[in-house]
Amino acid sequence: MSDPRVFLAPGLLLVLIAVGGRFTLDRAGFTGLGWVDLRVVGLIVALVLLVVDLSRRARATTSRDETWLVVTLLFFLFQIASALWAPPAARIGAQVLDLVLLAALTLAFYYWTLGDPDRAVRFTFQLFYLTAIVFALAAIFINGPGEQGRYSAFGGGPNVFVRIQLLGVISAIALALLHRRLLPLLATPLLVLAALLSGSRGALMAGGVVGGYALWKIRGRLKPGPVIAAGGFLVVAAVVIWFTAPPAFTSLFQERFVEQTVQEQYLSNRTDIWAAALNLGWEHPVGGAGLDGFYGLIGINQMIEYPHNYVLAVVAEGGVIGISLLTGAVILWARTVRGGGARPQVTGLAVSAAVFVALSSLFSGDYYDARLAWIFAAMAAAAAVAQARTAPAAASAGEREAVPR
């Protein structure tokens, strides 16, 4: 007898928490309740539902390779412990809370997905697909361009907004593959347009890398007819968007992507920030400068929140110990998801989402902004190590046939 189907309620809450980012009640207008962090409230409810869900499942009869998860948790714990030697100006409280929530989200997504990876991953892609459409419409028709002419939605920054949009594109492709229907792809022009309107060059480049690698992997299975049809659809959509888009879009594209990137080679001072992070790591080689040490020693004087590169942030604030733990976790995770286990397609789709956010985190964001990479990595690992749900039933049928009558 197979396990009962996984509860969807914990996944819904977990996705809402992951997408919502840092949300306290003062952002909703309740200034007196600004100390209430809805992430904590939502996560407590989600964990209670997850415990109920876990209690319904049969215990695993075979051991799973979860070494990557152990090393990942050690990495998070080391980052939290590094607050002990952080500089006085470091924002310890907020950073520790972010890392605790990040570890909890990673664990929760992993064990939720284990119950039924096919259903959990498909449901998660459905939620991100709908979320990306809602965010795109809100950015274009409600929020509009910000001070720099870049688009975002619901008070979030453009760099987080573009990740949701491109995850929506990945979700559309995933749903089309899983359901064998082209209908989800109809929203991709809207999502790509919204991603371009964000003006986030690093995330767009990361999306191009992941998309190009995926096409190269399946190049032998591509048929000329669908490829020509898809190319023609994208060309027509691009022409329609270009000639019907408001002037704000064309001016943003011209200024952000042509003038600043190609002509001026302007990188938003990223190279200077990255050099400062490397230098900080060189000055504190073993354990780094401590949690939020970059801000406490450099950023506070130059009005820079973080190094805008996840790996360099770990080097600066965690030193050799921190980067070794992170490298070990990534290598062990890659070994776990390699081959995809019993469901290579589902695992591969979750891996593509994780890799996209991870590459985007090399250009912007802090530790908590990389949460979507960790949760998709957890889902990919769970899909790779979980047994096929049909295995118990098939084994029972085989045993019945073997019994002589």
Write the DSSP symbol of residue 2.
P
Q: How far is C-alpha 217 from the chain's CA centre? A: 22
pLDDT tops 50 at residue 326: yes
Q: Give the DSSP letter of residue 159.
A: H
Q: Answer yes or no: is 247 within a domain.
A: yes
Q: Is residue 20 part of a domain?
A: yes
pTM of the model: 0.88
Which of 303, 282, 281 shows the shortest CA–CA distance to 293? 281
Domain that holds residue 157: 9-53+67-386
Q: How far apart are CA 341 and CA 40, in angstroms?
A: 33
* Residue 201, in any domain of the structure: yes
* Average pLDDT over every residue of 88-106: 95
Write the pLDDT tens digit of every residue in 156-202. 888 899 999 999 999 999 999 898 888 898 898 889 888 988 888 88
Residue 342 lies in a domain: yes
Q: Which of 3-7, 77-81, 293-297, 323-327 has the lowest mean pLDDT?
A: 3-7
Closest Cα to residue 15, out of 160, 121, 133? 121
pLDDT band at residue 143 using 50, 70 and 90 as cut-offs = confident
Higher pLDDT among residues 348 and 243, named by residue? 348
- The answer to whether position 137 is within a domain reads yes
Cα–Cα distances in angstroms (integers) from residue 112 to residues 146, 200, 279, in the given order: 37, 32, 41
In a domain, residue 142? The reply is yes
pLDDT higher for 256 or 145?
A: 145
Mean pLDDT of all residues in 257-284: 75
- Flag whether 225 is in a domain: yes
Q: Helix (H, G, I), strand (E, B), or coil: what is residue 24? A: strand
Give the pair of three-digit tokens for residue 272. Answer: 């200077």
pLDDT band at 34 (very low <50, low <70, confident <90, very high): low
Round to whole Å and give the CA distance between 96 and 93: 5
Q: How far is CA 329 from CA 254, 264, 323, in A?
A: 41, 38, 10
- Mean pLDDT for the chain? 84
Buried b / exposed e across 130-161, counting CB within 10 Å, b at 16+? ebbbebbebbbeebebeeebbbbbbebbbbbb
Number of independent structural domains in the chain: 1
Tell me which long-range contacts 393-399 makes (C-beta under 8 A, separation of at least 24).
Answer: 393/1, 393/2, 396/1
Predicted confidence band of residue 38 (pLDDT cuts 50, 70, 90): confident
Which position has the higher pLDDT, 364 or 315? Answer: 315
Q: What letter would DSSP give residue 58?
A: P
Place of tokens 């964001």: 365
Q: What is the pLDDT of residue 391?
A: 42
User: Model confidence over 49-94: pLDDT tens digits?
Assistant: 999 999 887 776 567 889 999 999 999 999 999 999 999 999 999 9
Mean local confidence (pLDDT), 270-274: 88
Q: What pLDDT, on the 0 to 100 scale, is given for residue 336?
A: 96
Question: Which backbone phi and psi does 145 adopt, to 5 degrees?
Answer: -75, 150
What confidence score (pLDDT) does residue 260 get?
Answer: 56
Give residue 270's pLDDT band: very low, low, confident or very high (50, 70, 90). confident
Query: What six digits make up the tokens of 54?
Result: 């876990």
- On the question of pLDDT at 400 being above 50, the answer is no
Query: 132 near 167, Cβ under 8 Å?
Result: yes
Quick: pLDDT tens for 108-127.
999 999 989 999 999 999 99
Domain-embedded: residue 394 = no
- Note whether 139 and 93 are within 8 A (CB): no
User: What pLDDT does residue 345 have?
Assistant: 92
What is the torsional sign of CA 110, 156, 92, 320?
A: positive
37 beta partners? 24
- 334-353 average pLDDT score: 93
Q: How far, in Å, CA of 151 to CA of 138, rounded?
A: 10
